[in-house]
Chain A
Amino acid sequence: MDKFTTLTGIAAPMPLVNIDTDMIIPKQFLKTIKRSGLGKNLFDEMRYNSDGSEIADFILNQPAYRDAEILVAGDNFGCGSSREHAPWALLDFGIRCVVSTSFADIFYNNCFKNGILPVVLPQEAVDALMEDARKGANARMTVDLESQTVTTSDGQAFGFDIDPFKKHCLLNGLDDIGLTLEKSASIDAYEKTAAQSRPWV
């Protein structure tokens, strides 16, 4: 997994609330057995007409936002299914950070497994960042994980909270499984005790 330290890039405004995982990556693209290549189908049904041509006014089709690396989105981003294809598609497109007032639980966790930083901020802060994102490609936002801040193009900074363990893993690009396997002895011990106390499991 790639590290996430600091990112300065174009932010695309998506004020819609409840952007669900079916919008982020519709199910016809879940038939893959790979993780890569989903970026072209990110937001597929909002982004393309049924004949495959682009819907010109969709935000990521607008020239200013084609290279966006940050999304500023409405409440409850990523609700719906557990599909990790949603963060895979975002990542493959080039999005490394999503800012919202709230995220659905599973999506939020999935982001961290893929080097994407989901930033939760209060409504006023998201409103200010949404305004900044609307300025287009010349306005670059900066997200700094170490200092836990998002800074607008004109220097207004907002601090955000994040779980220290998740921060540590993301900053260092750590693989969870490797970390857990270091605790194998604890797992062995647990299984031994459980075999006595809950043998039917």
Chain B
Amino acid sequence: MSGPKTLYDKIWDAHVVHEDADGTCLLYIDRHLVHEVTSPQAFEGLRMTGRNVRAPEKTIAVPDHNVPTTLDREKGIENEESRIQVEALDKNARDFGINYYPVNDVRQGIVHIVGPEQGWTLPGMTVVCGDSHTATHGAFGALAHGIGTSEVEHVLATQTLIQKKSKNMKVEITGKLRPGVTAKDITLSVIGATGTAGGTGYVIEYCGEAIRDLSMEGRMTVCNMAIEGGARAGLIAPDEKTFEYVMGRPHAPKGAQWEAALAWWKTLFTDEGAHFDKVVTIRGEDIAPVVTWGTSPEDVLPITGTVPAAESFTGGKVGAAQRSLDYMGLTPGMKLTDIKIDTVFIGSCTNGRIEDLRAAAAILKGKKVKDGMRAMVVPGSGLVRAQAEEEGLAQIFIDAGFEWRLAGCSMCLAMNPDQLSPGERCAATSNRNFEGRQGRGGRTHLMSPAMAAAAAVTGHLTDVREMM
């Protein structure tokens, strides 16, 4: 197919190994990221069938979901099942000779933060991981998406995936963002506008001035939540910011290879006139700092809003909204800023990067966490943590009364001991507010790091613009 192509078309075409008459393709995978939760059964499958890892040099593993983030991590993992899972990854990484960042390596962290940080993620690549937030890597103009464990095994054994091409969707954020509005507000607002199934069947390309203006960290935050919008992947065309971020990273190309790579990367953009099957445009000026009120990431409202009534929705959403309101313990009509918070969690693959910590620290500087609240910062990787310490951010968090943790997924999904108790209400910078996500009965409000920091100071959901 010639004619104008989208960025997605270009990356797709460069990776087709084989195409069947019905359009089913075998797609080559450039990078396979692996964590401890979704991989043990896949490695077990390889052993049972006597198969090997086809490209161990393109396979990168790091434990993140189960690891303790308290400072006494070196003592080991108390929960037996968690420990067995991490030990299984240790062993699988060793037995199959794949790249590995063990728990006590300073480079360890959340897989979607470690990949870009180490230069494994590069523009134009296909990147997969047994984890839905693989979409994060799309910020580099890489086609990146989550897969299930059977597909993990498939990629380990063949370095390919059986895929059908998705449709093209464009999400354009025009103009400039207003002060206090961040990448997280963009991505949540898009989901609020399109719904959690709005992107189903599509790969989204985010574009427009407001996206261009974002740092690489911000772009990763936007792409990270493409999955919450139902899309297979989110993409942003690489530009000078991307190249600058990538250059010099441990696994980025060097010398003549860098030049060759750069020449190709510069062709990775959507051609003039290329066709999109669906287009959504949002004015950057119209985006406010937002929070979620319910138990679906589409339950998004500007912080200046009020809790909606279930009847204000239609169809099956009426019942779901009522269930959310009951679960969240909220009354329709109440101001969002009157919602009291017990706990603040800053971290996750959505907002656990250095820029996120800077934004939160800027709000917290010289202030204290409201009495009686629990607040923690969990950096996305050991290197983010080290950098934050060097920049003096860690001290700001500690002085404000935050716990300063080691890297991991932590309370994003509460597989390790960091969990909410029933009814405990949390301002979180992560990506999912599902029932029980942060602990059984726990109530999650999603927001940006600056908004979470503001809530920590006041003890209730707060419009960060009032503290700037």
User: For residue A79, which residues in chain B have a CB less than 8 angstroms away from its CB?
Assistant: 196-197, 230
User: For residue A16, which residues in chain B have a CB less than 8 angstroms away from its CB?
Assistant: 316, 319-320, 323
Give the CA-CA distance A186 to B18 in the complex, in Å.
7
CB proximity to A under 8 Å, residues B61-86: 65-66, 79, 81-82, 84-85
B150 contacts A104, CB within 8 Å? Answer: no
CB proximity to A under 8 Å, residues B317-359: 317, 319-320, 323
Convert A113-127 into 0s and 1s, putting 1 for each residue whose CB lies closer than 8 angstroms to a CB of B.
110000000000000
A190 contacts B28, CB within 8 Å? Answer: yes
Q: Residue on B with the closest CB to A87?
A: B148
A80 contacts B434, CB within 8 Å? Answer: yes
A84 contacts B38, CB within 8 Å? Answer: yes
| Stretch of B93-101, B154-162, B182-190, B280-288 with 4 or more beta carbons under 8 angstroms from chain A | B154-162
B193 in contact (CB, < 8 A):
no
A84 contacts B149, CB within 8 Å? Answer: yes
A164 in contact (CB, < 8 A):
yes
Give the CA-CA distance A84 to B18 in the complex, in Å.
26
Most interface-central of A16, A33, A76, A179 (chain B CB within 10 A) = A33
Question: With A15-B316, A16-B323, A26-B440 given, is the CB distance from A201 to B125 under 8 Å?
Answer: yes
User: For residue B413, which residues in chain A have a CB less than 8 angstroms away from its CB?
Assistant: 27, 81
User: For residue B122, which residues in chain A have a CB less than 8 angstroms away from its CB?
Assistant: 200-201
CB proximity to A under 8 Å, residues B116-161: 122, 124-125, 130-132, 145-151, 153-154, 157-160
Q: Could you list which residues of chain B lie within 8 angstroms of chain A, going by C-beta atoms?
A: 14, 17-18, 20, 22, 24, 26, 28, 30, 37-38, 40-41, 44, 49, 51, 54, 58, 65-66, 79, 81-82, 84-85, 88, 122, 124-125, 130-132, 145-151, 153-154, 157-160, 162, 164, 196-197, 200-201, 230-232, 253, 257-258, 260-261, 264, 296, 315-317, 319-320, 323, 413-415, 422, 432, 434-437, 440
Q: Which 3 pairs across A and B sit closest by C-beta, in order of nearness?
A: A113-B150, A200-B253, A31-B81
Q: Could you list which residues of chain A lie within 8 angstroms of chain B, going by C-beta atoms?
A: 15-18, 20, 22-23, 26-28, 30-35, 45, 50, 74-76, 79-84, 87, 102-106, 109-110, 113-114, 163-165, 176-177, 179-181, 183-184, 186-187, 190-191, 194, 198-201
Given A187-B158, A187-B159, 13 more pairs with CB closer than 8 A:
A17-B317, A18-B296, A27-B437, A33-B41, A50-B440, A79-B197, A82-B147, A83-B148, A84-B41, A102-B197, A103-B200, A165-B162, A200-B260
